[in-house]
Chain A
Amino acid sequence: MLSMSTNNSSYNDQGGADSAVEIGQETTPTSNSGAGFGLFSTDFKKNDDLKEMLENNKESLKLEAMKRIVGLIAKGKNASELFPAVVKNVASKNIELKKLVYVYLVRYAEEQQDLALLSISTFQRALKDPNQLIRASALRVLSSIRVPIIIPIMMLAIKEAASDMSPYVRKTSAHAIQKLYSLDPDQKEHLIEVIEKLLKDKSTLVAGSVVMAFEEVCPERIDLIHKNYRKLCNLLVDVEEWGQVVIISMLTRYARTQFTSPWREDGVFDENSERAFYESDEEKTRDDTEIKPYTMDPDHRLLLRNTKPLLQSRNTAVVMSVAQLYWHLAPRNEVSIVTKSLVRLLRSHREVQYIVLQNIATMSIQRKGMFEPYMKSFYVRSTDATHIKSLKLEILTNLANEANISTILREFQTYVKSQDKQFAAGTIQAIGRCATNISEVTDTCLNGLVLLLSNRDETVVAESVVVIKKLLQAQPSQHSDIIKHMAKLLDNITVSMARASILWLIGEYCERVPKIAPDVLRKMAKSFTSEEDIVKLQTVNLAAKLYLTNSKQTKLLTQYILNLGKYDQNYDIRDRTRFIRQLIVPNEKSGALSKYARRILLAPKPAPVLESAYKDRDRYQLGTLSHTINTKASGYLELSDWPAVAPDQSVRNVEVIEPVKEWAPSLGKTGKSKPAKSSDDKFYSDSGEEEEDEKGSGTSSSNDGSSSSSAGLSLCLCVPPPGPVCVSGPAFVPEKSHNLLHRMTGKGLAAQYQFTRQPCLYQPNMVSVQISLTNTSDHRLEQIHIGERSPAGLKIHCFNTIGESHCFSTLDDTKEDQFSVSIQPAVGDLFLAVTMTEQDFRKEQGKLQGMNECSATITVTAENTSSQPLNRRVAAMANVGVVPSGQDNVHRFAGKTACSGAVLLVTVELRESSAAVITINTEKSVMGSMLLRDLKKSLAQA
């Protein structure tokens, strides 16, 4: 790559003085504008001087030239001619100048590919700069230059940046991935590798951007998420707001492929009967032989729990995305927590209201109950924009039920009188919908609508007639008097659409008003020539229908009208008249059709269905662009249905990553036991995991400043244990759970804990304790959380406050209760199992002699002399891994303490006559002797 300075002369040749910069027609002679923003002020200069200014040595002139050029770009004028002169300044020392050159480069590099290459070396150099921000900005610009030839360079830069020390640079590299992908989709495979790597990143800065890249490049590679799922959930609160939106929508999709439905099979998407829904539930549990109770995957719960605080975000997009997550993923009875927040968003800008109202409209069709208490928030204000008004109307109509219809109708009455006639017309349609949905008010609505027929405004009258027509069509039998009333109104109504509708109605139900119909026809015949076309057509229609049903009275009238129609100016009417005449008046020419005239004209017509325009919108994920425009937008990712059977959940288990070499795949199945749910309690017990550190490791610093909850990932150095030790999954997980809080002492709240022997999610040197909380009372328990943590040196990573523990009758008296409880771990649960070879075992044992060794001889029971039961006994007692042994009578086990990673070695040597020697080697001699005591007891027992 040539350096800039040596190239100067060639540019001058190439540029020449003749190439005038092509920019618009502004030719104002004044010069000497001092400020750089002169472009938009009155003093336009000829832009020829720009090139000279750029080639000048003075920085200030260059800067001014660049400012003017940026002004040109902003206006959308072409400034590409200046490319050679501008690109030379890419290596400038002046930061502002440099930035403006970047702006220019990114804009025009695509058009001037060859010249753009000259700038690349500068960026390559900057990529190695010690300052992280310079590295980042170099990568940003380099990847924004859409020149295919530098794809390999970009690829390299991205790969390097992805393993940069600085999270900020890594974030930039995540952005660059998408840019490269859009430039060259063939790089996909390589880019996926980078994404996979960045997904493992623990920085909150990177998380949002890399998930964005994931969504853009490989949204189908859901398998990449498994291992990062829990981390993403836990990081979520701390990620910047834009990243949160992207992560939440990705996790929504993920969860729909990985978890089973929390909605009951029979829980159809219809909620007017929440009660029925639960009743059926009870019935079902009675014969629990067939249906096994649903238990929510703890990971599913984790997602719901960690997104809930984000409902309080100031960013409307975040709130909306949490709302859609709950809508698509949460059990039915939990969805309603989003209502309040959504209603809050309605206070925001007009555009926000528009989107939120659309989503509420879709939600409210399926679940009236969610928004009914907030009905008044949807009342229309005269200052609302028209589309906001109609959305509110839509929602009010959806919310209408027997109880509130009178309030809503009263409100509608005000709207009908609105000056915004389009809105008034919308209201009339809404009244029509209420009338069909709620049979109690059909008559009231109809009467109200009939009154509106005398309104002065054309649109209002027309709309009412049309709606009345639809309503009558649904149940014509009872309403002949309304038809009569409408016939009377015909004299006054001038709107042609309304007149036509009335004529059609009379024609359609002429047999119900046998006396009036011919008279109407008579009147119409009189005014036929002065009517609008649409009215004429309906008059012909009416005449034909009457001729068929009541030819005695109307024969002459019909013929008169048909004659008038025959000579009408409008060919449509002439055609129709001709057709009708042939159809109804049988003569030799008319074919077989006239026989069916009656069946053709008076065929029963299906009533139009009045339903919401938002009825089918739920096929799109809420909050998406596709949902808003009601068509599939390009790049829309379908939300899959719940799987019938949940895929293997262990894929999300993450092993504690040791900073040492090789890695033994975790042994066996890590059975994560779920909070057991007895079939008779009707709620999902919340399970929270709490971590406890046995002896404060002292290295932890306090959470500084971040507003978040899960601080676990940040701090706490874990000292790698000496020697070739790999943590493995537990060989055995004790099923036994201990009582933490009895339900009598806990006033209904029972808590049980159990050591899962899983590597802890938050910190490798903590021990996970699973606590299952059960609400056995008949009122709801809210805000369960762990308060004071007593003994010094003991660190507890608390779970987030659990919102509430549900049960069904809600009693509203709040009381705060505090229970102090204590967890007493058996010493064996404070270890982590490790795998090692016999050789290593001996080596470690060699180091841990003397003080660090304790042993005892015991008599073992007969069944414990063989290896299988013995292994099980030991594993049940302590979380240790079996070391393959060469000798039959010597069994070895290895583990390490969770807190400090000190190695623990257990040897059981069987001797004759059921005697055995247990030897324990560990630095932690106290724990060693305690474990020895436990083991002695356990092995001696039958």
Chain B
Amino acid sequence: MIHSLFLVNSSGDIFLEKHWKSVVSRSVCDYFFEAQERASEPENVPPVIPTPHHYLISVLRHRIYFVAVIQSEVPPLFVIEFLHRVVDTFQDYFGVCTEAAIKDNVVVVYELLEEMLDNGFPLATESNILKELIKPPTILRTVVNTITGSTNVGEQLPTGQLSVVPWRRTGVKYTNNEAYFDVVEEIDAIIDKSGSTITAEIQGVIDACVKLTGMPDLTLSFMNPRLLDDVSFHPCVRFKRWEAERILSFIPPDGNFRLLSYHVSSQNLVAIPVYVKHNITFREGSSQGRFELTLGPKQTMGKGVEAVLVNSQLPRGVLNTNLNPSQGTYTFDPVTKLLTWDVGKINPQKLPSLKGSMSLQAGASKPDENPTINIQFKIQQSALSGLKVNRLDMYGEKYKPFKGIKYMTKAGKFQVRT
């Protein structure tokens, strides 16, 4: 399946290569570089590039291209999903997935890649198992290793892969037994010029951090499971129980994992938590444009809107801006024409606004499109859809765990057309 993997940085250097079958010359990447050159933006490089003898399937994460070399027919999503899993694993291990981190930990990276694929077919991709095979590097361990000469390869061979619960290792022990669940909902919306909603939907995830001793068997139930329209589960969730009783029943992996992602049925009207008043005009013949933007809370269920960040790609004709934010800071990059306004918290009494003028290229005709405004925000302690967890029970172990649940709403792809 996957023949080789090349890691390419944003300046087009191959800084890591790994082969699972016979060695493929790195010159195969020239086809990739060609495509990269043709693309105007880094994101526009096509994910699948056919070459005379191979096929290149690439993903772009953290400004690094992960280019897999394929020799024969394979579902492209299989490769893409795997590459993303690799990136997730690196992130899990090194905290960040940057070129520097990978170069610093090249041996661990190599060991990981070796375990994750055998002959190009995925072998161990569960983080619980990998962590048993190869210990993630920590500062402490690095120090200890240099002194004692011990290694970061697990002495114990993993048990999880062989057990009935392949995602959980055995012999987990904690002094404080805790289980935390974060219900995070993201609202995707497109708002048109006049402020009416073109499309809006809510997607949510439940991320869990479970640190429980032994083999706990958890059940999580909702007050209003009917809200969930389409769901996808971590493999640990028992599908039949969900189908029959709308209860999440599972033996959790150890540590952090995503338990569930869901989509809220579209029949429910989505409450848009913020509104935007805008007035962006370019006049024909004048080298000035007006820019006015005001944000305000709409339906937020009494919770404050925080961490608001506005950005907008201004037309190419804009040379510079002279704006005045009522709160927060704004930046404008004259090269990329990206306007960013870090608003912070919205105070309903005093609405934040950004007003001023834009200077345009002299003599150039007026841009025909007004920029789109992308907004990010957070609302703590509330899930926009109203989803509520009813209770969490644990079976199979004797102790009383500490349980916690947190709700949050975020903006996903929230766009306002002007």
Contacts and interface: CB of A to CB of B under 8 A. Distances in A.
B320 interface: no
A387 B44 CA distance: 7
B81 interface: yes
Interface string B87-111: 0000000000000000111110111
A705 interface: yes
B194 to A, nearest CB: 12
A76 B74 CA distance: 26
A354 B74 contact: no
B118 interface: yes
A914 to B, nearest CB: 56
17 contacts: A37-B105, A40-B104, A75-B16, A99-B153, A100-B107, A175-B121, A314-B234, A351-B80, A382-B374, A385-B43, A419-B369, A625-B55, A628-B76, A634-B72, A704-B164, A707-B239, A709-B239
A448 to B, nearest CB: 15
Contact of B107 (A37, A175, A387): A37
A309 B16 contact: no
Given A74-B109, A212-B1, A636-B73, 17 more contacts: A34-B146, A71-B106, A74-B110, A76-B14, A99-B111, A132-B162, A167-B162, A212-B121, A242-B122, A355-B77, A383-B372, A419-B316, A625-B48, A631-B50, A706-B165, A707-B237, A709-B240
B290 interface: no
Contacts of B81: 315-317, 352
Chain B, interface SS category: mixed
B152 A801 contact: no
Nearest to A321: B75
A633 interface: yes
B231 interface: yes
Contacts of B61: 349
A628 B48 contact: yes
B221 interface: no
Nearest to B23: A107
A379 B103 CA distance: 40
A634 B110 contact: no
Contacts of B157: 131, 133-134
Contacts of B199: 376-377, 379
Contact of B50 (A352, A356, A629): A629
Contacts of B22: 110, 146
Contacts of B235: 240-241, 313-314, 707
Interface in B375-418: 413, 415, 417
A414 B370 CA distance: 10
B185 to A, nearest CB: 12
A37 B108 CA distance: 10
Nearest to B17: A76
Interface string A615-645: 0000000011110110101111100000000
Contacts of B80: 316-317, 349, 351-352, 355
A60 to B, nearest CB: 4
Interface string A80-113: 0000000000000011110110110001001000
B30 interface: no
B417 A414 contact: yes
Interface stretch (A286-294, A340-348, A862-870): A340-348
Interface in A181-196: 182
Given A99-B114, A634-B71, A801 B78 contact: no
A783 B111 CA distance: 47
Interface residues of B, number: 108
Secondary structure type dominating chain A contacts: helix
Contacts of A411: 198
Interface in A344-392: 344, 347, 349-352, 354-356, 376-377, 379, 381-383, 385-387
A63 B315 contact: no
B72 A800 contact: no
B70 A381 contact: no
Given A75-B16, A623-B75, A70 B107 contact: yes
Interface in A459-509: none
A209 B149 contact: no
B355 interface: no
A35 interface: yes
B251 interface: yes
Given A414-B417, A418-B369, A344 B232 contact: yes
A707 B240 CA distance: 8
A350 B73 contact: no
Contact of A633 (B58, B72, B239): B72
Q: When A and B form their complex, which 6 residue pairs have the shortest distance between CB atoms, in order from nearest?
A: A635-B72, A96-B151, A60-B149, A376-B199, A96-B153, A40-B103
A456 B107 contact: no
B231 A312 contact: yes
Contact of A74 (B17, B57, B203): B17
A349 B106 contact: no
B12 interface: no
Interface of B: 1, 14-19, 21-23, 26, 40-41, 43-44, 46-48, 50, 55, 57-61, 70-78, 80-82, 84, 103-107, 109-111, 114, 118-119, 121-123, 125, 142, 146, 149, 151-155, 157-158, 161-162, 164-166, 188, 190, 192, 198-199, 201, 203, 215, 217, 229-240, 243-244, 250-251, 258, 261, 263, 313, 315-316, 365, 367-369, 372, 374, 413, 415, 417
A381 B413 contact: yes
A37 B164 contact: no
A178 interface: yes
Nearest to A629: B50
Nearest to A248: B75
A168 interface: yes
Contacts of A417: 368-369
A110 B48 CA distance: 30
B228 to A, nearest CB: 11
A385 B44 contact: yes
Contacts of A212: 1, 121
A916 interface: no
Contacts of A209: 121
A355 B55 contact: no
A431 to B, nearest CB: 17
Given A35-B146, A376-B199, A382-B372, A175 B118 contact: yes
Contacts of A70: 106-107, 110
A551 interface: no
A672 interface: no
A891 interface: no
Nearest to B250: A707
Nearest to B142: A35
A172 B119 CA distance: 10
B44, B58, B106, B263 interface centre (most CB from chain A within 10 Å) = B106
Contacts of A797: none
A237 interface: yes
B73 A63 contact: no
B316 to A, nearest CB: 7
Contacts of B118: 140, 172, 175
Contact of A314 (B153, B201, B217, B261): B261
Nearest to B87: A349
